[in-house]
Structure 1
């Protein structure tokens, strides 16, 4: 099945099984109870366990991932489920020191307190690390926010040979831009709050795995912990996924143009984008990613200049998170990331390319 065929099938996934007179659009079901006389086996029973809207969303996510998926109320809900389903006291966990900071906080403040030994290493060192001592190796590539890459396939092979489990946070790329399970990872986690939703109006996440035992543990974690998604958010995400291909194509194409136009600007000390041939991650990006993503990082001389740049852009929203139709940016040092004070994470949205580039350049040109 080609990628184009897979994407076309995604748009008609629900419709192909409809009965005459049923709605084309996914219905929103928010009931906590179901009509359940007699033997309950095989029927929806209770809203913490069963929901037709979740099931339709998970069907679509599974099609895109080519693996069974479990939906969660946020990306951190998905990450928590993956980690708590695979680790126990005495196990050792590796997490990226330059990845999403909340994953590190969860690991150090909660998993470590339950007897899991947590180590942190930068993403760029993963390819040469000794992974034989880890039960779980958690990686994020490209890293958020620095955009360093590591070799998913090589790491997954080494971890599996040592009897461990590889979890990949694929939030920055989505299953359309990078396919960690096809590269040998055991589990994918992602925040669907970002590009999959695309409209900055919901929180959602998912876990994908082809390991039946892990899948059962993750489903039980959701059922027992109560970490369930809102049916309304699931409904919105299902709708957002139907336009992900169109939005992602525009966002990534524009991001490349932005990177090419901004890389030599005198006010920018450093710029990272995996699609630039001069980027240290370019060669690896061309082998394990089907596009280069919509995120850039750029560094200005000072905190004040970074803030002035963001504030001076009419088509740039100063906000945390990323992946929406609106381009956005933030100075990540304000959250404690180990980056320079003038470091800016830039998420390219769906604005017309030339208008966005002109706006960014205009703001840079006015800095002093």
Structure 2
């Protein structure tokens, strides 16, 4: 089992032009040049408008819906993590992950176009599918596992990949899918929320766009709603940025500042969470009342071989199935170090019976567990105790 303070196996770390590893890069990403008596990370800029003499064209800041210095710092920082050393990378920050996802799909697709989406992805993709079909877009779906989306690419304008998938944690081969898609002129977008830029770099693997909810592991404290789109094509970035301006899906300056502040601990947090998640997953494997344990870091997981090739750490999420809804509810009532909450990626462990939301094709006893940065032995002990309590048919009052 990997130790909490050791990186999991995977591709070698990418080094920037100064020879900085990820652990160093995240601490300084997007920071301005140091100036005497100034803070290393300037505070949030609250502005609806700016002093704007002369012509508008070329002005770095003109109106608060268009741009903000606090966004600029965050976007620069994320770009340095998504594609270290590549100055072509542009990032567009949004008010939420769904804002970022919607911006890509709705800015790139027109009536008559074909989009290929995962059938097992984030459950709000179903709502977006209905919206797209209402606009005259043909939407095809296929599961993430076994690169099943390959069979649906013919004539597609855009391929949307989610790997690892949420909540099932299947993995697909980004490079293989991107190569096949580009051969037919298809644009490729990857939802990289679960992996983060330190766990997986879709643009390096051939994707045109890397999209994520910064609400999750990127910021990691459960106090920010945020999303972003990263790409290396200026025209593509401009179209996404224009969509943000048109619909007003802009991040608040305080949220952007909190997100930038949180990036400094991204390496430490995600390393520990990945190790903790593997420890919890291994403990779950030994329980006879638990089935279908999934985590890409498990050597026996169906996705492990592929994940080890394209991911440098395997994420904080573990999924598993308990005998029924009642058993799962008793388990969630009995854990003490794991909060019953949706979302994932936070420093505090959370879990939920995913079927309570509807929309995900999962058993009633399916649990998605987001593992935090608590002590691994304490988490394993708590999970085992909660399983014992649930198996005895009791739950704390």
Counting only pairs closer than 5 Å after superposition, residues 82-101 of structure 1 correspond to structure 2 as: 82-101=104-123
- Measured in 1, the distance between the counterparts of 2:55 and 2:116 equals 46
1:16 Cα offset (Å): 5.6
Deviates more, 1:80-89 or 1:123-132: 123-132
- Measured in 2, the distance between the counterparts of 1:341 and 1:77 equals 29
Q: Deviations over 1:101-136 (max 9, x none)?
A: 10221122x111111011121112534524122111
Partners of 2:32 and 2:40 within 8 A in 1: no
1:210 equivalent in structure 2? 232
The 3-state SS of whatever aligns with 2:193 is: coil
Q: Deviations over 1:265-293 (max 9, x none)?
A: 12202211111111111111110111111
- Indicate yes or no: 2:132 matched with 1:111: yes
- Of the three residues 174, 190, 209, the one matched with 1:152 is 174
Partners of 1:74 and 1:205 within 8 A in 2: yes
Aligned length: 367
Partners of 1:76 and 1:103 within 8 A in 2: no
Partners of 1:95 and 1:104 within 8 A in 2: no
TM-score by length of 1: 0.96
- Indicate yes or no: 2:381 matched with 1:365: no
Partners of 1:323 and 1:347 within 8 A in 2: yes
- Measured in 2, the distance between the counterparts of 1:21 and 1:72 equals 31
1:353 Cα offset (Å): 0.9
2:299 equivalent in structure 1? 277
- Measured in 2, the distance between the counterparts of 1:146 and 1:196 equals 20
Q: Deviations over 1:120-155 (max 9, x none)?
A: 211125345241221111110111000111111100
2:395 equivalent in structure 1? none
1:15 Cα offset (Å): 4.7
Residue 175 to residue 13, structure 1, CA distance change in 2 (3 Å): closer
- Indicate yes or no: 2:46 matched with 1:46: no
Counting only pairs closer than 5 Å after superposition, residues 21-100 of structure 1 correspond to structure 2 as: 21-41=37-57, 42-66=59-83, 67-100=89-122
- Measured in 2, the distance between the counterparts of 1:23 and 1:199 equals 22
CA RMSD of aligned residues (A): 1.4
- Measured in 2, the distance between the counterparts of 1:5 and 1:285 equals 21
- Measured in 1, the distance between the counterparts of 2:29 and 2:160 equals 32
- Measured in 1, the distance between the counterparts of 2:277 and 2:21 equals 26
Tell which has more relative contact order, 1 or 2 (C-alpha 8 A, sep 6+). Answer: 2
1:240 equivalent in structure 2? 262
The 3-state SS of whatever aligns with 1:176 is: coil
- Of the three residues 138, 141, 154, the one matched with 1:120 is 141
1:261 Cα offset (Å): 1.4
- Indicate yes or no: 2:237 matched with 1:224: no
Structure 2 residues not aligned, in runs of 5+:
1-13, 84-88, 392-397
Structure 1 residues not aligned, in runs of 5+:
none
Partners of 2:277 and 2:316 within 8 A in 1: yes
- Of the three residues 159, 163, 179, the one matched with 1:137 is 159
The 3-state SS of whatever aligns with 2:124 is: helix
- Measured in 2, the distance between the counterparts of 1:173 and 1:15 equals 23
Counting only pairs closer than 5 Å after superposition, residues 172-191 of structure 1 correspond to structure 2 as: 172-191=194-213
- Indicate yes or no: 2:26 matched with 1:10: yes
- Measured in 2, the distance between the counterparts of 1:205 and 1:2 equals 25
Partners of 1:90 and 1:117 within 8 A in 2: yes
Partners of 1:85 and 1:214 within 8 A in 2: no
Higher helix fraction (1 or 2) = 1
2:375 equivalent in structure 1? 352
1:45 Cα offset (Å): 1.1
Partners of 1:36 and 1:43 within 8 A in 2: no
